[in-house]
Structure 1
């Protein structure tokens, strides 16, 4: 018998398991992934939630109280960190990253499974989450206590695949300090930037902080559309984080950054790094490879307001 209830829907997904299969073999990698998912699942009933199902490298859960769902997500991130840091943990476990997405709304419960718009929104929102990030919808954010809201930052309205109307989204950034950004900051004297210039073919776009975040990809929901075979529908996100400009990979084929004057190419692969100076962003391959779509960037210390060059507006019907 079907019942309709108002629930917070949570989807969690582990990324990086491919590396485990390569380094540990199928049997051991499967055991590690299964054990990790089971450990994460234990955090669900502990906060009053219900595990609906496990999904290979992930799980789906529902909660009657929004704040409990958010607390459960925090415990999952902490649990993965603890597992990776354990003395007996396989080295490859430290490469596992956790993405979580949540939405609030009515769900239809049928034979232990759940369906409905909130389920679809949470599942599709997961595609926009970076490593160790938690994304929540605006409706869920509005029901959280003020002290909990303070930890989140707005990503404005995000277009989700299959939905005509964009969804208001808030992000809980990864715990701790981004190691790639720290590495860059030790090598360069970074002043706080004021904007970013992007060059794609013959088009130049200049973005201020208020224009961020910006999604880059092949899909019509992205503010900067790049229609190339190697580019994912939602390939990367550039955002203002921790006083700097950060690019996060959200793709299948990876995002690669080469800074001007540096021979090293950073492979993000669902990771992120701080942008500084200028350089090239390879979408789906290294900028050193022939045929890779390359987006040139330049971090600006000031903006020329007399020549405002902005991203083209998205088609409201898309």
Structure 2
């Protein structure tokens, strides 16, 4: 008999398992992924929740107490971090990342499964989570204790796939600074920037720290809207994290960064890197490829910085 209840729905997704299969082989990689998901699932009942299903590299769970659902998500993130840091962990394990999304609302419980708007929202919201991030809806945020809300950053209202009305979203950033960002910061003696200037076609956009985070994509809710076929509805996010500006890939086709004076192109697949100086961001392909939408950026050391100059395009691209 179907029953309708108010529940917090949690979806967790383990990413980076492809590298495990390449380096460890199918049998050992499957064992590592299965053990990791099972260990994450154990964080659900201890917080009063119920695991509804495991989904290969992920899981779905429901909770009757919103704060306990968030506590379970935090424990999952901590558990993966300790798993990666274990002395016996294979090098490929360090590439594993965890994305978690939670939504609060009515669900229909039937035959051990759950359905309803909260389930759909949590599942779609997971697509917008970066590495080791936890995203929650505004409705769930409002149910959290006041002393914990300061840990979250508002991402404003997002349009989710298959849903007409946008959803208010808040993000709990990763516990530690992204490894790519840390490597970048060790190469440059950086003062904290004041913002970012972006050149798209003939238009210049200025985003100060107070404007962040800024979403980039085709969706109408994005602060920088790029209506191109390769670009996802919510393709990337520019955010202030760890004392610097980061670009976080949230897309299907990837985000690519090339810094001025550097031939190397950084490929971000659900990853992030710290922006410094100036350069180009390719949306859905490398800046070297013909037809790829390319944003030119310049980090502002002060609010009086001038508009960034146009970079010379690589051969073959006008």
- Does the Cα contact within 8 Å between 1:239 and 1:246 map onto a contact in 2? yes
- Does the Cα contact within 8 Å between 1:160 and 1:221 map onto a contact in 2? no
Q: Distance in 2 between matches of 1:302 and 1:164?
A: 39
Q: Distance in 1 between matches of 2:182 and 2:42?
A: 33
Where does 1:204-219 land on structure 2 (aligned, <5 Å)? 204-219=204-219
Deviation at 1:219, TM superposition (A): 4.0
- Does the Cα contact within 8 Å between 2:105 and 2:117 map onto a contact in 1? yes
Q: Distance in 2 between matches of 1:243 and 1:82?
A: 24
Deviation at 1:52, TM superposition (A): 0.5
Which residue of the partner structure matches residue 15 of structure 1?
15
Which residue of the partner structure matches residue 312 of structure 2?
none
1:234 aligns with 2:227: no
- Does the Cα contact within 8 Å between 1:108 and 1:116 map onto a contact in 2? yes
Cα distance change of structure 1 residues 146 and 16 upon mapping to structure 2, 3 Å threshold:
same
Q: Distance in 2 between matches of 1:153 and 1:230?
A: 28
Deviation at 1:221, TM superposition (A): 4.4
1:27 aligns with 2:27: yes
1:244 aligns with 2:244: yes
1:121 aligns with 2:121: yes
Q: Distance in 2 between matches of 1:155 and 1:227?
A: 20
Which residue of the partner structure matches residue 284 of structure 1?
284
Q: Distance in 1 between matches of 2:179 and 2:33?
A: 24
For residues 192-231 of structure 1, the C-alpha deviation after alignment (integer angstroms, 9 at most, x for no partner) is 2222111122222222233322222234443333343433
Which residue of the partner structure matches residue 61 of structure 1?
61
For residues 76-132 of structure 1, the C-alpha deviation after alignment (integer angstroms, 9 at most, x for no partner) is 111111222223322211111000000111111011111111111111111110000
Which residue of the partner structure matches residue 315 of structure 1?
none
Which residue of the partner structure matches residue 189 of structure 1?
189
Which residue of the partner structure matches residue 202 of structure 1?
202
Which residue of the partner structure matches residue 294 of structure 1?
294
Moved more, 114-123 or 287-296: 287-296
| TM norm structure 1 | 0.90
Which residue of the partner structure matches residue 269 of structure 1?
269
Q: Distance in 2 between matches of 1:227 and 1:32?
A: 40
Which ranges of structure 1 fall in alignment gaps of 5 or more residues? 308-318
- Quote the RMSD (CA, aligned, Å): 2.1
- Does the Cα contact within 8 Å between 2:177 and 2:242 map onto a contact in 1? no
Which residue of the partner structure matches residue 313 of structure 2?
none
- Does the Cα contact within 8 Å between 1:152 and 1:170 map onto a contact in 2? yes
Which residue of the partner structure matches residue 169 of structure 1?
169
Q: Distance in 2 between matches of 1:251 and 1:167?
A: 18
- Does the Cα contact within 8 Å between 1:259 and 1:279 map onto a contact in 2? yes
Where does 1:96-107 land on structure 2 (aligned, <5 Å)? 96-107=96-107
Moved more, 95-104 or 137-146: 137-146
Q: Distance in 2 between matches of 1:110 and 1:185?
A: 51
Q: Distance in 1 between matches of 2:165 and 2:208?
A: 25
Which ranges of structure 2 fall in alignment gaps of 5 or more residues? 308-318
Moved more, 24-33 or 123-132: 24-33
Moved more, 15-24 or 201-210: 201-210
Deviation at 1:56, TM superposition (A): 1.3
Q: Distance in 2 between matches of 1:261 and 1:65?
A: 52
Deviation at 1:140, TM superposition (A): 0.9
- Does the Cα contact within 8 Å between 2:196 and 2:207 map onto a contact in 1? yes
For residues 157-212 of structure 1, the C-alpha deviation after alignment (integer angstroms, 9 at most, x for no partner) is 22222223222111111012222222222222322222211112222222223332
1:2 aligns with 2:2: yes
Deviation at 1:300, TM superposition (A): 1.5
- Does the Cα contact within 8 Å between 2:159 and 2:219 map onto a contact in 1? no
- Does the Cα contact within 8 Å between 1:161 and 1:221 map onto a contact in 2? no
